[in-house]
């Protein structure tokens, strides 16, 4: 693999990675290892994979390693004995890791579990490279207000939003007509309803183009991931909900298209490798080398686009509904979906029941007043918890 020029790639010199053992976390550290003189690693965190965390902390000479699961504190200390790397454990320690002084925090914890540490990082007013989409889905308004109040330099990592961020940079917001997010369509793009009804976790876990963590891979199969991304885009960019669209693009080469009032459409293209948007999030407004395979359009030959099928993939419609409801609806949608995906992976519910359960929870939440204004993070976390309890109750009717 080519090694990049060892020049300071950006103003980001010190970095904390929340969720270091995950797919985005590891891609971040892989990228950093190609710029060995460029970055100092402050803190690395993980929830339960203590062996991988200790290994990454040693390899990257982190100052601190934090394991979310308290019961693993002793094992982490043992594994890092004699290295000089400080160890900490527990949910509070994750938040403390997020506020250590650094130039950038890579927020790559999966799920609503990432809310508290990512909010804590955002309150510091430095750069947050945002992979954790749940901050925007569950707490969009509150999160963006926090970012605004603290003067945080927020750079999206999700590839579609990284693409839109680049296309929009420096443009007058009024000149944006539409943002079109691309979706691969996932492993079931052409599958019949019957095939979907019997889809197994193994089949749903085989993404055609991207290599990602287990949760987002299932979300890509239901298209809920694209729904979550519509909500992300709404909070990140100066557009109304009706200016956001989704198009299926099976090759995952064009990541987003931004249409402007003069008829221009700017798209960002790259091979599907998260190290490209991660590099942008660390180096912006500069660029840094990423050791990815270069795009060869002649070899790819064809880029195709299709309308998404919301009958087979109702998750897209549900996310739109949550976006229009606003307030705590995003937190309810996300919590119900997290629970439903866990239920599917544990074979308690079937593939099509993921969206069905989310819809049931959203409907019940609306009826019972759980969908309401969210003034702060506490309101969001309370809605998240209540929606999980609701989903657990409804789950019993399935399977
Ligand atoms: P992953 O499952 O591979 O890794 C998740 C990381 O979070 C791990 O380090 C894990 O230890 C940590 N974690 C899990 N539960 C935790 C908890 N309760 N408390 C603290 N830490 C916890 O996930 P991923 O695919 O890397 O995704 C991370 C985030 O980035 C998600 O929000 C995802 O939607 C988003 N994202 C990922 C990709 C991708 O290519 N993987 C692309 C776009 C956006
Ligand atoms: Mg994405």
Q: Is the CB of 27 under 6 A from ligand 1?
A: no
Q: Identify the pLDDT of residue 2.
A: 31
Whether 204 maps to a domain, the answer reads yes
Whether 265 maps to a domain, the answer reads yes
Q: What's the pLDDT band for 7 if we cut at 50, 70, 90?
A: very low
Whether 1 maps to a domain, the answer reads no
Q: Examine the domain organization and report whether 92 and 171 are in the same domain.
A: no
Q: Examine the domain organization and report whether 176 and 259 are in the same domain.
A: yes
Identify the CATH number of the domain in which residue 388 sits: 1.10.1740.10
Tokens of 83: 């290295």
Mean of per-residue pLDDT scores for the chain: 95
Q: Examine the domain organization and report whether 151 and 259 are in the same domain.
A: no
Task: Please check the confidence at residue 209 and state whether its pLDDT lies above 50.
Answer: yes
Q: Is the CB of 216 under 6 A from ligand 1?
A: yes
- For the segment 132-171, what is each residue's pLDDT rounded down to a tens digit? 999 999 999 999 999 999 999 999 999 999 999 999 998 9
Q: Is the CB of 212 under 6 A from ligand 1?
A: yes
Tokens of 290: 């990423």
Task: Please check the confidence at residue 207 and state whether its pLDDT lies above 90.
Answer: no
Degrees (nearest 5) of the Cα angle 228, 22, 4?
105
Atom nearest to 111 CA in ligand 1: 32
Atom nearest to 21 CA in ligand 1: 9
Closest residue by Cα to residue 117 from 140, 93, 101: 93
Q: What domain count does the chain have?
A: 3
Rounded mean pLDDT, 108-129: 97
Identify the CATH number of the domain in which residue 70 sits: 3.40.50.720
Q: Is the CB of 217 under 6 A from ligand 1?
A: no
Whether 341 maps to a domain, the answer reads yes
Which among 116, 140, 157 is the end of a domain? 157
Q: Are 132 and 114 in contact (CB under 8 A)?
A: yes
Which among 129, 157, 185 is the end of a domain? 157
- For the segment 8-26, what is each residue's pLDDT rounded down to a tens digit? 446 889 999 999 999 999 9
Show the domain range for 186.
161-271+292-300
CB atoms under 10 Å from CB of 335, counted, come to 30
Q: Identify the pLDDT of residue 399.
A: 67
Q: Identify the pLDDT of residue 145.
A: 98
**Which of 106, 110, 218 most suits a substitution to test ligand 1, by most atoms within 8 Å of the C-beta?**
110
Q: Which residues neighbour ligand 2 (ion) by CB within 5 Å?
A: 158-160
Rounded mean pLDDT, 220-240: 98
How much is the CA Rg of the chain, to the nearest whole Å?
20
Whether 279 maps to a domain, the answer reads no
Rounded mean pLDDT, 53-72: 98
Going by alpha carbons, the residue nearest to atom 21 of ligand 1 is 47
Whether 7 maps to a domain, the answer reads no
Whether 3 maps to a domain, the answer reads no
- For the segment 241-269, what is each residue's pLDDT rounded down to a tens digit? 999 999 999 999 999 999 999 999 999 99
Q: Identify the pLDDT of residue 10.
A: 61
- For the segment 161-194, what is each residue's pLDDT rounded down to a tens digit? 999 999 999 899 999 999 999 999 999 999 999 9
Whether 24 maps to a domain, the answer reads yes
- Please state, in angstroms and as integers, the Cα–Cα distance from residue 14 to each residue in 66, 105, 258, 381, following that order: 17, 9, 32, 30
Q: Examine the domain organization and report whether 97 and 184 are in the same domain.
A: no
pTM: 0.96
**Distance from Cα 75 to the centre of ligand 2, integer Å:** 34
Residue 376 backbone dihedrals phi, psi, to 5 degrees:
-155, 180
Q: What's the pLDDT band for 115 if we cut at 50, 70, 90?
A: very high
Going by alpha carbons, the residue nearest to atom 9 of ligand 1 is 19
Which among 157, 192, 208 is the end of a domain? 157
**Distance from Cα 150 to the centre of ligand 2, integer Å:** 26
- For the segment 79-109, what is each residue's pLDDT rounded down to a tens digit? 999 999 999 999 999 999 999 999 999 999 9
Q: Identify the pLDDT of residue 11.
A: 82
Q: Is the CB of 117 under 6 A from ligand 1?
A: no
């Amino acid at each position: 693999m080519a090694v990049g020029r060892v020049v300071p790639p950006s103003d980001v010199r010190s970095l904390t990675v929340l969720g270091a053992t995950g797919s985005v976390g590891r891609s971040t550290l892989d990228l950093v290892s190609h710029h060995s003189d460029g970055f100092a690693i402050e803190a690395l965190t993980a929830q339960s994979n203590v062996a991988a965390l200790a290994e990454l902390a040693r390899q990257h000479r982190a100052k601190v390693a934090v394991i979310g699961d308290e019961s693993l504190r002793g094992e982490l200390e043992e594994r890092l004995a004699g290295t000089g790397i400080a160890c900490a454990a527990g949910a509070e320690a994750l938040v403390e890791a997020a506020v250590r002084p650094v130039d950038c925090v890579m927020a790559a914890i999966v799920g609503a579990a990432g809310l508290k540490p990512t909010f804590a990082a955002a309150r510091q007013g430095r750069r947050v490279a945002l992979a954790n989409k749940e901050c925007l889905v569950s707490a969009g308004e509150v999160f963006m207000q926090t970012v605004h109040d603290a003067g945080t330099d927020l750079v999206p990592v999700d590839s579609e939003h990284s693409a839109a961020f680049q296309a929009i940079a420096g443009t007058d917001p009024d000149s944006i007509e539409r943002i079109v997010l691309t979706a691969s369509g996932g492993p079931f793009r052409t599958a019949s309803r019957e095939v979907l009804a019997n889809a197994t976790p193994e089949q749903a876990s085989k993404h055609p183009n991207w290599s990602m963590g287990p949760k987002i891979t299932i979300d890509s199969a239901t298209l809920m991931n694209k729904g979550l991304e519509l909500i992300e885009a709404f909070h990140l960019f100066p557009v109304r909900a009706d200016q956001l669209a989704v198009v299926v693009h099976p090759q995952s080469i064009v990541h987003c298209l931004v249409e402007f009032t003069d008829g221009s459409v700017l798209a960002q293209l790259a091979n599907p490798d998260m190290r490209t948007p991660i590099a942008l999030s660390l180096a912006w407004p500069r660029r840094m080398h990423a050791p990815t395979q270069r795009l060869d359009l002649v070899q790819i030959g064809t880029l195709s686009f299709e309308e998404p099928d919301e009958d087979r993939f109702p998750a897209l419609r549900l996310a739109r509904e949550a976006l229009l409801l606003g307030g705590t609806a995003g937190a309810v949608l996300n919590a119900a979906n997290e629970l439903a995906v866990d239920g599917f992976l544990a074979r308690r519910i079937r593939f099509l029941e993921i969206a069905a359960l989310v819809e049931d929870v959203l409907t019940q939440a609306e009826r019972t007043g759980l969908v309401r204004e969210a003034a702060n993070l506490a309101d969001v976390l309370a809605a998240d918890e209540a929606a999980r309890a609701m989903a657990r109750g409804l789950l019993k009717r399935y399977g």
